[in-house]
Every structure is written in C-alpha cells, then in structure tokens.
Amino acid sequence: MMKSRTSHAHALDLEPVPSTRTPASGVIPKSREATDAAIARVHALVEAAGRCFAARGIGATTLADIAHGLGLRKSIVHYYFASKDQLLLSVQSHAAEKYLDAVRTAGETAGPTVKDLLTTLWDTLRAHPSLAELNVELIAEARRRPDLKKLVASVEAQTRDELRAALEARSVRKDQSECLAGLILSTFRGLSLASTLEGGSEADQKAYECFTRLAQIPTTLEAVEQASVAS
C-alpha cells in the first residue's frame, strides 16, 4: 500500500525538492527549477486542501485526509506545511484570489446593464461551486480565529470595491452602489449555498432568477425617490 502511494506522489510530482531548509521553516530551493517545482507542488496541495475543506468542513478535515485524497504520505504534506493552520491560511489566500478574479472578470466582460453583470457574475461563480462552499466554511471559521477574520474581512472589502466599480460603470449612482454591492455578494452566498444543498437544475434556476431580480433595485430606488419628491 505504501508503495502505491509513493508512486502516486511521483506521478503528481509532489516529492520534496532539493533545498537547504524545509518549506515549513522557509524553503530555500537550490535552483530556479526547484523553485518553480516547489510552487507547482504547493499549488496542488492547496487546491486539494480547498476541495477537502469545502466538502468535509474545516474542523473535520485533517492533514492525513488531504494526503490520503492525493494518494500521498502525510509526511509530504508536512514537508510543505508545518501545520493545518498554515495550510488553511494558504487556502484562504488562494480562494480569495480566485473569488476576486471571478468578480473582476464579470465586471470586465458583462454587457452594459446591471442584469448583464449579475447574469455573468452568477455564471462565473457557479462554474466553481466548491469555491462558494469553501467561502462559507472560511467565514464560519473566521468567527473563531482573529487572524483569519482579518484576512476574510479584507477580501470582502476588495470584492465589494470591484463590484461597486462594475455597478457604477453601468450607471448605478455612487450613493447606491456600495449598498447594492454588499447585498449582491450576501445574496449570492446564501442562494448558491441553498442551491447546492437542494441540488438539481430547478433549484439552481430559482436561485438564479432570485439573484438577477436584484437588478431592479436601482430602478426601484429611483422611482421611490421621484415619488417622494413629487409628493
């Protein structure tokens, strides 16, 4: 059994690279090739850990679970990450980068209306369902960990800024964009999680329809303000 795991590790190219110190204490690869290899290996471990955390929950996942999922020895995971906490912070950073990139891409590629933006954002983020599940896990864990809470809050602020800019580029007023951006992100998290729990295309379609109705908010606010002025 151990032999097959070692073979799998070689197939994934996750064996430790030559270095003067272990990555847990600050790896110093001996060459540029070793540096590139180490980055690729750490990326593979972080991706695998993110999937495990999303599927099983952060508290229920161990380093042994992550190693087993990749067919690796636990010692290889420890070579790159000294602890589960260290790995968790790397997972959070990686997830934040992917989430921000998805929001930024939607803002840059969507059509000219708010509904176009919401449709593209929904399609982009729902293409990575485990990312939404992982974000929920990270937010829950952040309630118990000040270091993680600070990172999650920073990502939330950056994501709102990206979305606010995308809304303003579609003629949403500045005094409305921040509130609407926060509402959109909160609604997406709740609906995507509910859709995942319920499962099926019908639940996903209902969640999508509910999400895109948020596009009506700026127009509704304008109508309320005009009615107030008229009265």
Residue 29: φ, ψ to 5°? -60, 155
**Pairwise CA distance, residues 168 & 164, whole Å:** 6
The backbone torsions φ and ψ at residue 169, rounded to the nearest 5 degrees and listed phi first, read -70, -15
Query: Which two tokens mark 104?
Result: 């930024």
Band of residue 23 on the pLDDT scale cut at 50, 70, 90: very low
With tokens 């636990």, the residue in question is: 74
pTM of the model as a whole:
0.75
Residues of the chain with CATH 1.10.357: 92-230
Report how far residue 57's alpha carbon sits from residue 217's, in angstroms, rounded to the nearest whole number.
35
Mean pLDDT of all residues in the chain?
A: 82
| CATH of range 2-82; options 3.40.50.880, 3.40.47.10, 1.10.10.60, 3.30.70.20 | 1.10.10.60
Which residues lie below 8 Å from residue 28, measured CB to CB, with a gap of 6+? 19, 20, 21
Strand partners of residue 19: 29
- Residue 6's pLDDT is 35
Angstrom CA distances, 230 to 61, 173, 175, 191, 218, stand at: 59, 20, 21, 37, 18
| Longest pairwise C-alpha distance within the chain | 80
Query: Could you please report the per-residue DSSP string of 134-179?
Result: HHHHHHHHHTT-HHHHHHHHHHHHHHHHHHHHHHHTTT--HHHHHH
- Tens of pLDDT, residues 56-104: 999 999 999 998 888 888 898 888 898 999 999 999 999 999 889 999 9
Q: Where in the chain is the domain with CATH 1.10.10.60?
A: 2-82
- Residue 46: name the closest of 63, 31, 26 by CA: 63
Q: What is the pLDDT of residue 34?
A: 65
**92-230 CATH fold:** Tetracycline Repressor; domain 2 (1.10.357)
Mean pLDDT, to the nearest integer, of 106-114?
94
pLDDT confidence of residue 30? 52
Question: How far apart (Å, rounded) are the C-alpha atoms in residues 28 and 69?
Answer: 27
Burial of 126: CB neighbours in 10 Å, binned 0-12, 13-18, 19+: buried
**What's the CA gap between 181 and 202, in Å, rounded?**
26
- What would the pLDDT profile of 166-196 be if each residue is shown by its tens digit? 999 999 999 999 999 999 998 988 887 777 6
Q: CA dist 159 to 45, 170, 182, Å?
A: 25, 17, 9
Residue 50, classified by CB atoms within 10 Å of its CB into exposed (0-12), middle (13-18) or buried (19+), is buried
